[in-house]
Chains A and B, each alone.
Chain A
Amino acid sequence: FPGLADVSISQDIPVEGEITVPVGSHSPDEDYSTLDEPVKDTIMRDLKAVGKKFVHVMYPRKSSTLLRDWDLWGPLVLCVSLALMLQGGSADSKDDGGPQFAEVFVIIWFGAVVITLNSKLLGGTISFFQSLCVLGYCVMPLTVAMLVCRLVLLAGAGTVSFIIRLIVVGAMFGWSTLASTAFLADSQPPNRKALVVYPIFLFYFVISWMILTFTPQ
């Protein structure tokens, strides 16, 4: 290196200047900067995520986004609305009526937890909250069925209305089961799929039964 032969620093030369690292607006760690965004953006982002998942349940395809970005807002909203709509079905004596709000809530959440534990114990690779998320979102067709049932019951409570309700609830029950199976089946060991799918079937059957037997006072 001939050019460096005569470089020597004999005295202290102050080095000053500015060091700035330009932070671009599209840097990969954008998440860290969500603290400064307006609240509307935050809410809209979460709402969009929830809405996207509802669309996924409507047209069930094997998609990993539903599983990866789980959230429990959708299941909470669905569960609360379903439990509220199942109110008002009590009979003369408290013992013989339909399920109370707390009972519906407990059945849905406790049932989802038990099914998740069951699939994990059988060797499933899905995470706990992802499974809760899927099971909760797939209650959506049944919530729609409950809405339809209440509307049909407003028109009358005869045999025709019962047949309509039966068909609607049956179709939605099948849709829920198929949707949740489509999302959850891949993460199960291959020779135990039926063992995992059956409790899901039982879970949605019980919810469907609660919806079908709802009789307003």
Chain B
Amino acid sequence: SACLVMYLFAEFDDAAHLLAANPDATTISIDEPVEIPKNQHSRLQEPGREEDDELLGTDDSDKTELLAGQKKSAPFWTFEYYQTFFDVDTYQVLDRIKGSVFPVPGKNFVRLYIRSNPDLYGPFWICATLVFTIAVSGNLSNFFIHLGKPTYHYVPEFRKVSIAATTIYAYAWLVPLALWGFLMWRNSKVMNIVSYSFLEIVCVYGYSLFIYIPTAILWIIPQKVVRWVLVVFSLCLSGSVLVMTFWPAVRDDNRRIAVATVATILLLHALLAVGCLAYFFDAPELDIPAPIIPAHNGTTVITKSH
């Protein structure tokens, strides 16, 4: 065993010398994950396999985990610990929002944009904006739909703000928690190549909700067809971001469980959109008591109002 130790030391020495001489060289670690500074991540892959690795995250998943764990080194009761979750600049937040709205086929949102720096700024403020956007848009839309009707008196419907806040924040935090717990459980049974930390999942979910903000504004238009087209469109965009993120994390599992997981993710996302549309926005053809007109032959005809 002494010979083995000497051999390992020699190897490490050689590698250190090589690295010192040529810092841009590609290094492959065999046993333990070696601490690699962040700026060498992107040079660890050959250009041809970049896309696959971006999607699978095979290149740096465990090193990413290590670095993510290293960043939060302050104890959790200090202010500095929480500051590490807000370590983003304006352009980074804008990039992440762009990445959630225009999903590039084949690119994994987490690997491409988050890169072991998950932030809580985006999820929190996107959810806050979405809450108020849905409440305000719903109120405006109801106002325009019922405008002109003699019995209509405008109400601000302020209660709905608290309901919207509860729903959206619960979705943005509890669903990632459940998903993370589920993925951890599957990880213990099946060795998955890709695994995400809880904050990364919260990040993906938070940024994927961004598309619903312009959708909610456009839902003011009182046409059923327009609203449903918008639902489908936004669901496709944000759903594809979620699918491309989570498919690599479950594809090594039992095929049925993988498909069921992804289907549940999409279903919950769709449920949120449809639920918000149904609850906060009155249907355009709202039924006011229709006048009953007695017809000539004595039968009553009820006219439908548009």
Contact = CB atoms under 8 A, between A and B. Distances in A.
B156 A195 contact: no
B156 A118 contact: no
Main secondary structure of the interface of B (DSSP, over half): helix
A103 B89 contact: no
A96 B85 contact: no
Interface in B177-205: none
B148 to A, nearest CB: 12
B129 A121 contact: no
A98 B153 CA distance: 13
Contact of A89 (B90, B156, B159): B156
A121 B158 contact: no
Interface in A33-63: none
Interface string B129-164: 100100010010000000000000111111100000
A215 B154 contact: yes
Contact of B125 (A89, A198, A214): A198
Given A193-B90, A195-B88, A213-B139, A121 B155 contact: no
B158 A98 contact: yes
B102 interface: no
B36 interface: no
Contacts of A91: 153, 155
Contacts of B82: 121
Interface of B: 79, 82-83, 85-86, 88-91, 93, 121, 125, 128-129, 132, 136, 139, 153-159
A123 B83 contact: yes
A202 B126 CA distance: 11
B156 A97 contact: yes
Nearest to B82: A121
Nearest to B90: A194
A18 interface: no
Contacts of A213: 139, 154, 156
13 contacts: A91-B153, A92-B153, A97-B159, A121-B82, A121-B85, A123-B83, A192-B90, A195-B90, A195-B93, A198-B125, A199-B128, A213-B139, A215-B155
B171 to A, nearest CB: 19
A121 B153 CA distance: 44
A206 interface: yes
Top 9 closest pairs, chain A to chain B, by CB: A96-B155, A213-B156, A121-B86, A91-B155, A191-B89, A194-B90, A98-B156, A99-B158, A95-B159
A73 interface: no
A122 B125 CA distance: 13
A92 B154 CA distance: 11
B173 to A, nearest CB: 16
Contacts of B85: 121
Interface in A115-142: 118, 120-123
Given A191-B89, A193-B90, A122 B155 contact: no
